[in-house]
Amino acid sequence: MAGTDTSKQFVFRPTPAIILVEPQLGENIGAAARAMANFGLWDLRLVNPRDGWPNEKAVAAASKADHVIERVKVFATLSEAVADLTYVLATTARGREMFKPVIGPDAAAEKLAAHIGAGRHGGVLFGRERWGLTNEEVAIADAIVTLPVEPAFASLNIAQAVLVLAYEWRRVTLSGEPLPIEEDLGEAAPRDQVIGLVEQLGEALDRAGFFKSPNKRPGMMDNMHSMFAKASFNAQEVRTLRGVVAALDRRHERPNPTRRRRGE
């Protein structure tokens, strides 16, 4: 979804740290920052990024997620990046032959929410674009997070993986918050307006010769009343439909441009 409401202030709530281990492309760092900002995360940590930091391509790809980019922390080693964390998850799509819990993104978000909600710090590790995390890096984590992807094509772009985890975090921790845009169903149409619409339609159909058999008219009108009642139109929709019916009913009163061109 394009567009950003710059009038709203970002809220820096306690959230998991997102740790990218030796990311290679600035574009991926920026896209990950944007995904984080979309769902309220802001603590982005980079371990030995290949092209250094700051990175202009990352800034461009972040699409104004400045509050994330400006707070990026760079570390020389993974152990330094996770030093303050007491719960760490490692993302991978490959079996590692380790005795570690393997959980999905929904369970990961729930565990992180409980841990961080208790005043502690947690984070998620994401590996290199080409080969992910090493076994040694996965080994320091408390659990493995894997996404329910298609086994025949399990590789995700880093930013895509960050987006999934960030979304699950938001869903778990802020499920009671309203959506960013409000539903507008309009003013419900009073029943007499809906009845009037159907009666107007019935009269127009009479003039059009729709009811071939007069004795079937009552039953067909009942069916139309039932259909329109189920539609739950708002007042504006009823007014629009009444205008449509009226326009169609008066079409014989208007000159036919096709006939005029033919000289009929």
Segments making up each domain of the chain, as ranges: 17-173, 191-253
pLDDT at 259: 52
Question: Which one-letter amino acid corresponds to residue 180?
Answer: P
Q: What is the pTM of this model?
A: 0.72
Q: What is the pLDDT of residues 125-183, one digit of tens each?
A: 999 988 899 999 999 999 999 998 888 887 789 999 999 999 999 999 987 666 566 66
**For the segment 53-88, what is each residue's pLDDT rounded down to a tens digit?**
999 999 999 999 999 999 999 999 999 999 999 999
Q: Which two tokens mark 211?
A: 């009811």
CA 35 – CA 54 distance, rounded (Å)? 19
Superfamily of domain covering 17-173: SPOUT methyltransferase, trefoil knot domain (3.40.1280.10)
What angle do helix axes 26-38 and 158-173 make, rounded to 10 degrees?
10
Tens digits of per-residue pLDDT, 97-124?
A: 788 999 999 999 999 999 999 999 999 9
Tokens 């993974």 correspond to what residue? 78
CA 156 to chain centroid, in Å, comes to 18
Q: Which residues of 194-231 are buried (b: 16+ CB within 10 A; e: fewer)?
A: beebbeebbeebeeeeeeeeeeeeeeebeebbeebeee
